[in-house]
């Protein structure tokens, strides 16, 4: 059962869309209160974001968030946001850690797609095997969904040459976090620098379809799209930046395939 989008974005405006956020309070390790959520969204709004998909975690062994819980909080958030950011549009979704039977639960309406579309945000454990990711992608595609792999920079098995190409060929879409393009916890850490270099390389090579903040708080894992987009404009051009931040995510909200 697919939930309809609340409102389609205005195509003539440059409305940045954030498809991966943890702004619904109390459901996972993201925001803890309505007021914190509003502060997070205001920070995003100041960076040009006008469409936000709330994607609380769903994991079999920890956060088993239900659509009814999400809907109640979405209604509360919409009221809180409307007062201070009337142009901001909120949509519901989930970041679902893959498990066997996931497609069945999606079809029964027990899990949410992104903004009521056929796109599904799916994550894996960092140590997941290549075969598991392949099987998950195929299972979701066979069920009629468009799998969007969350923060692909975390999965070491995807670093092997040819695997990103194979995922794209299968029909999967790859999402990267904005922060992975710019942030270094320790500028002297060689591993971090190499990881950031890899992220930049695969983005400029055209493997990434979607970007997201994956924001969890006002300070910790805060929204940071502006600096990353500035880097993309400098290195890849305005067209690429617009494609990743406006045009591609708009396809999700309109439920149109890329």
Per-residue tokens: 77:
């958030």
Query: Between 69 and 184, where is the model more confident?
Result: 69
Count, residues in the chain: 258
Asked if pLDDT for residue 92 goes beyond 50, the answer is: yes
Asked if pLDDT for residue 50 goes beyond 90, the answer is: yes
Helix (H, G, I), strand (E, B) or coil at 118: coil
Domains of the chain, earliest start first: 16-254 (3.20.20.140)
State how far the Cα of 146 lies from the Cα of 163, in Å rounded to an integer.
Answer: 18
Helix (H, G, I), strand (E, B) or coil at 193: helix
Encode pLDDT of 203-247 as tens digits. Answer: 999 999 999 999 999 888 888 899 999 999 999 999 999 999 999
Q: Which residues of 82-98 are buried (b: 16+ CB within 10 A; e: fewer)?
A: eeebeebbbbbbbbbbb
Is pTM beyond 0.85 here? yes
Helix (H, G, I), strand (E, B) or coil at 192: helix
Q: Give the pLDDT of residue 81.
A: 95
146-149 and 173-177: which strand pairing?
A: parallel
């Amino acid at each position: 059962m697919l939930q309809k989008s609340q409102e389609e974005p205005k195509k003539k405006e440059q409305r940045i869309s954030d498809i991966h956020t943890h702004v619904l309070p109390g459901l996972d390790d993201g925001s803890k209160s309505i007021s914190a959520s509003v502060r997070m969204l205001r920070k995003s709004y100041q960076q040009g974001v006008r469409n936000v998909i709330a994607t609380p975690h769903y994991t079999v062994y920890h956060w088993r968030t239900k659509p009814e819980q999400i809907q109640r909080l979405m209604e509360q958030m919409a009221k809180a946001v409307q007062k201070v950011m009337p142009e901001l549009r909120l949509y519901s979704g989930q970041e679902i850690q893959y498990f066997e039977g996931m497609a069945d639960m999606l079809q029964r309406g027990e899990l949410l797609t992104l903004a009521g579309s056929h796109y599904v945000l799916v994550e894996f454990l960092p140590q997941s095997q290549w075969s598991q990711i392949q099987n998950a992608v195929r299972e979701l595609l066979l069920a009629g969904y468009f799998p969007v792999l969350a923060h692909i920079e975390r999965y070491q098995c995807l670093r092997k040459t040819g695997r990103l190409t194979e995922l794209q060929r299968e029909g999967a879409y790859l999402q990267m976090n904005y922060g992975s393009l710019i942030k270094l916890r320790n500028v002297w850490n060689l591993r971090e620098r190499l990881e950031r270099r890899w992220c930049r390389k695969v983005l400029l090579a055209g493997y990434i379809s979607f970007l997201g903040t994956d924001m969890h708080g006002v300070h910790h894992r805060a929204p940071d799209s502006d600096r990353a987009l500035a880097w993309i404009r400098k290195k890849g051009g305005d067209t690429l930046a617009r494609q990743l931040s406006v045009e591609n995510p708009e396809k999700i909200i309109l439920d149109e395939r890329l």
